């Protein structure tokens, strides 16, 4: 589930440590240089080959700390050897000359491969993969076809000697090289535009160098193809431009190193980050604005800083680094996968941030528990409301209907009997009708049918009409709201008006309902004696508990002799 930063201190071997290749490349390049000098090759050409091969291997060695760059390191070293192998054309052996001729342009294809797969060694896209494959085909396949028809006595693969055909194959190679160079240039530019944060810091120098070098190489090939100019000057220029690629790799690593914080700086930054959150401080240190922090709870779940649940999901450009404190996982950093190219930076942050993240984890765990308590209270309120609806429905459809039937039956019986019996039956009918009225009032208190049928505005208006004192209503709920919100607002108005009638000795009351920016504001004001308090066990205390379960605010303002205002702000977005 989690990606950890691997240590670069591994068992050294010639395949894992390019430093061990340096003596081999130096020795081979000196030998090739001696061959070139012996054959009268221009000193500038020899110097260009030696400089490029040494720079390639040096870049491969510098990139040793980047464990995810292993394939790119191998390709850089392979390019150096391919370049020197092409110089086998300076030998007097026909077989070695032919081998050098076949490998003459392979080092260029390797450079294209490096650029289009940098830094992990895997192609960026299907187009990049096809471009790299075509580069190898053009470089090696084209040379192989030319070797079959080249009129040169040193060519051991020549089947027929046709200069015209060899020139045609050469021009086809140049044309394909130009097309492939332009395609690679477009891919590189698009890649550069998409880089952000740590990926820009580590990869932009090489890609920018590749873009400049690719454009220059395409222009040179086009010039040679159009004018038919000679190759010696072009070969030296191309090698000079190719130097930009390994130098770009070194520049990216150097830039990343210079931007690292010292351990002491990290401690100060993490502990004294001012008003910035810990996530913002870590993002600033790592140079990744997309960084997310997920805290691991004791039960194995992950939450964010607010205590909200979150899942750890890795993507093509996202990675997860686990942070531990005292041997226990406390958090996970979800970040740009490019940060894995800077393992020492991430490792220093992991080592420094452990204790700070542990404190934040405890705070997040408390918030998560508080959120769970709130959710539990909300579920209890919802279950209570559902039970209220069930009781109201059962009373309406069951007992109330049977009492109505009984009242009708008594009325019919009273109409058909003598006067004395009729009086008794009529009295019983009146009692049944009073029971029906009381039952209806009880059902309305449990769950108002009008609220469910027509909404909060109609239900509040009905409460105002039934009150034994003048009640003015203002505002509107603005349409239907969630059931829990409507019930809470209704019972607030009902409880407040009941208290006004029973305790306030008020002459009038006002109910105000307003809906603004996802919040429903409900207030009930009277001109009574005041002094109301939501004491334990009172109706106002129960209403406060119901409202707090919905993350609502509840305020009672009641100074003696100045009336009472009961106000609630209920989220309803």
Query: At 514, which helix (H) or strand (E)?
Result: strand 509-516
Tell whether 89 and 200 lie within a shared domain: yes
Domain annotation covers residue 479: yes
pLDDT tens-place string over residues 321-347:
777 777 777 777 787 777 777 777 777
Is the pLDDT at 543 greater than 80? The verdict is no
Within this chain, do residues 67 and 202 fall inside the same structural domain, yes or no?
yes
Separation CA 383–CA 572 (nearest Å): 19
- Please indicate, yes or no, if residue 23 is contained in any of the structural domains: yes
57-69 pLDDT, tens per residue? 888 888 877 777 8
**Could you tell me what percentage of the chain is helix, strand and coil, using 3-state DSSP and rounding each to the nearest 5?**
65, 10, 25
Q: Is it the case that residue 361 has pLDDT exceeding 80?
A: no
What residues contact 76, with CB distance under 8 A and at least 6 apart? Answer: 18, 56, 57, 59, 60, 63, 114, 246, 249
| pLDDT band of 550, cuts 50, 70, 90 | confident
CB atoms within 10 A of CB 393: 15
State whether 466 and 421 are in the same domain. no
Which tens digits make up the pLDDT trace of 33-79? 777 666 677 777 778 878 888 888 888 888 877 777 888 888 888 88
Other CB atoms within 10 A of residue 55 CB? 20
- The whole-number pLDDT of residue 379 equals 59
pLDDT in tens, 552-566: 888 888 888 888 999
Residue 349 pLDDT exceeds 90:
no
Q: How confident is the model at residue 523 (pLDDT cuts 50, 70, 90)?
A: very high
87 domain-assigned: yes
Q: Is residue 196 part of a domain?
A: yes
Asked whether the beta carbons of 474 and 513 are under 8 A apart, the reply is yes
Share of the chain above pLDDT 70, in %: 71
Domain edge (last residue) among 375, 391, 416: 375
What is the pLDDT confidence band of residue 510, given thresholds at 50, 70 and 90? very high
**Poorest-pLDDT segment among 111-115, 239-243, 306-310, 318-322:** 306-310
The predicted structure's pLDDT at residue 259:
64
31 and 102 in a single domain? The answer is: yes
Q: Beta 509-516 vs 318-325: how paired, if at all?
A: unpaired
Q: Are residues 172 and 216 in the same domain?
A: yes
Out of 136-150, 202-216, 247-261, pick the least confident.
247-261
Q: Verify that 250 and 269 share a domain, yes or no.
A: no
Q: What pLDDT score does 472 carry?
A: 93
Mean pLDDT calculated for residue range 11-28: 60
Total domains in the fold of the chain: 4
Q: The domain spanning residue 276 has which CATH number?
A: 3.30.450
Inform me whether the pLDDT recorded for 23 exceeds 80. no
210 compared with 446, residue with greater pLDDT? 210
* Cβ neighbours of residue 501 closer than 8 Å, sequence gap 6 or more: 467, 468, 469
Q: What DSSP designation does 330 have? A: E
Which of the residue ranges 320-334, 377-391, 436-450, 497-511 has the most confident prediction, judged by mean pLDDT? Answer: 497-511
Quote the tokens at residue 388. 């209220």
Closest of 101, 82, 80 to residue 90, by C-alpha: 101
- Asked, for residue 187, whether it belongs to a domain, the answer is yes
pLDDT band at 170 (very low <50, low <70, confident <90, very high): confident
Tell me whether residue 198 is in a domain.
yes
Instruction: Please indicate, yes or no, whether residues 66 and 203 belong to a single structural domain of this protein.
Output: yes
Shared-domain flag, residues 283 and 419: no
DSSP state of 3: -
- Considering the chain, what percentage of its residues have pLDDT values greater than 90? 4
DSSP state of 503: I
Helices marked H in 272-342: 278-286
First-last CA distance in the chain? 36
Residue 27: pLDDT band with limits 50, 70, 90: confident
> Under DSSP, is residue 471 helix (H, G, I), strand (E, B) or coil?
strand
Q: Which residue has the higher pLDDT, 16 or 527?
A: 527
Please tell me the pTM assigned to this model.
0.57
Q: Are residues 172 and 272 in the same domain?
A: no
List Cα–Cα distances, 92 to 35, 89, 103, 153, 155, in angstroms. 9, 8, 17, 12, 12
Same domain, 489 and 538: yes
Would you give the distance in Å from CA 236 to the centre of its chain? 47
Q: What is the pLDDT of residues 452-475, one digit of tens each?
A: 778 888 888 888 888 889 999 998
pLDDT at 261: 54
Where residue 531 sits, what CATH number does that domain have? 3.30.565.10
Stated as kind and residue range, the H or E segment containing 437 is helix 419-446
- Residue 554, classed as helix, strand or coil, is strand
Residue 521 is predicted with a pLDDT of 92
**Are the CB atoms for 546 and 565 separated by under 8 Å?**
no
Are 336 and 231 in a shared domain?
no
pLDDT of residue 10: 40
Q: What is the pLDDT of residue 224?
A: 64
Of 6-15, 94-103, 146-155, 291-300, least confident by mean pLDDT is: 6-15
For residue 13, pLDDT over 60 is answered with: no
Cis peptide before 127 (omega within 30 of 0): no
Q: Are residues 490 and 514 in the same domain?
A: yes
- Any idea which residue has 């009172």 for tokens? 538
Domain of residue 168: give its range: 18-254
Taking 60 as the threshold, does the pLDDT of residue 530 lie above it?
A: yes
Q: Each residue of 94-126: pLDDT tens digit?
A: 888 888 888 888 888 898 898 888 888 888 889
pLDDT at residue 177 above 70?
yes
Of the listed ranges 1-10, 92-101, 156-165, the least confidently predicted one is 1-10
Q: What is d(CA 526, CA 431) in angstroms, rounded to the nearest whole number?
A: 36
Banded model confidence at residue 509, pLDDT cuts 50, 70, 90: very high
């Amino acid at each position: 589930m989690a990606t950890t930063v691997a240590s670069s201190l591994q068992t050294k071997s010639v395949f894992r440590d390019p430093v061990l290749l340096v003596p081999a490349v130096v020795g081979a390049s000196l030998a090739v240089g001696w061959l070139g000098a012996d054959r009268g090759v221009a000193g500038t050409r020899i110097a260009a080959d030696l400089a490029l091969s040494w720079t390639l291997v040096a870049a491969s060695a510098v990139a040793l700390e980047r464990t995810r760059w292993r394939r790119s390191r191998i390709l850089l070293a392979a390019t150096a050897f391919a370049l020197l192998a092409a110089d086998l054309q300076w030998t007097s052996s026909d077989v070695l000359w032919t081998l050098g001729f076949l490998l003459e342009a392979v080092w260029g294809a390797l450079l294209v491969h490096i650029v289009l797969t940098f830094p992990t060694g895997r192609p960026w896209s299907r187009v990049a993969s096809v471009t790299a494959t075509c580069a190898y085909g053009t470089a090696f396949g084209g040379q192989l076809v030319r070797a079959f028809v080249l009129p040169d006595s040193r060519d051991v693969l020549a089947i027929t000697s046709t200069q015209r055909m060899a020139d045609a194959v050469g021009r086809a190679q140049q044309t394909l090289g130009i097309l492939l160079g332009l395609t690679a240039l477009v891919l590189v530019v698009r890649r550069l535009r998409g880089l952000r944060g740590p990926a820009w810091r580590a990869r932009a120098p090489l890609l920018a160098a590749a873009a400049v070098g690719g454009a220059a190489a395409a222009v040179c090939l086009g010039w040679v193809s159009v004018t038919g100019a000679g190759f010696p000057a072009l070969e030296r220029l191309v090698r000079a431009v190719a130097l930009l690629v390994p130098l770009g790799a070194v520049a990216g690593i150097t830039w990343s190193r210079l931007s690292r914080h010292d351990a002491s700086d990290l401690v100060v930054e993490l502990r004294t980050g001012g008003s910035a959150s810990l996530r913002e401080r870590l993002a600033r240190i790592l140079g990744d604005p997309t960084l997310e922090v997920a805290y691991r709870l004791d039960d194995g779940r992950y939450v964010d800083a607010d205590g909200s649940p979150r899942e750890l999901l890795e993507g093509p450009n996202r990675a997860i680094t686990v942070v531990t404190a005292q041997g226990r996982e406390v958090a996970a950093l979800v970040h740009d996968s490019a940060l894995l190219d800077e393992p020492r930076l991430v490792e220093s942050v992991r080592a420094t941030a452990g204790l700070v993240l542990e404190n934040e984890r405890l705070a997040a765990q408390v918030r998560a528990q508080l959120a769970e308590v709130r959710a539990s209270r909300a579920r209890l309120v919802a279950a209570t409301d559902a039970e209220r609806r069930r009781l109201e429905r059962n009373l309406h459809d069951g007992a109330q209907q049977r009492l109505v039937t009984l009242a009708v039956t008594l009325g019919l019986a009273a109409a058909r009997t003598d006067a004395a019996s009729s009086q008794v039956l009529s009295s019983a009918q009146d009692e049944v009708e009073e029971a029906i009225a009381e039952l209806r009032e009880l059902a309305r208190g449990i769950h108002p049918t009008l609220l469910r049928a027509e909404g909060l505005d109609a239900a509040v208006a009905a409460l105002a009409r039934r009150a034994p004192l003048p009640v003015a209503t203002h505002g509107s709920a603005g349409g239907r709201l969630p059931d829990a919100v409507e019930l809470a607002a209704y019972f607030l108005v009902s409880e407040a008006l009941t208290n006004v009638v029973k305790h306030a000795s008020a002459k009038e009351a006002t109910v105000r309902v307003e809906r603004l920016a996802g919040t429903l504001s409900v207030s009930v004001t009277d001109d009574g004696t005041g002094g109301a308090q939501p004491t334990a066990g009172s109706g106002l205390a129960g209403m406060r508990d119901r409202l707090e379960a919905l993350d609502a605010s509840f305020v009672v303002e009641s100074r003696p002799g100045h009336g009472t205002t009961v106000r609630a702000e209920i989220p309803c977005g």
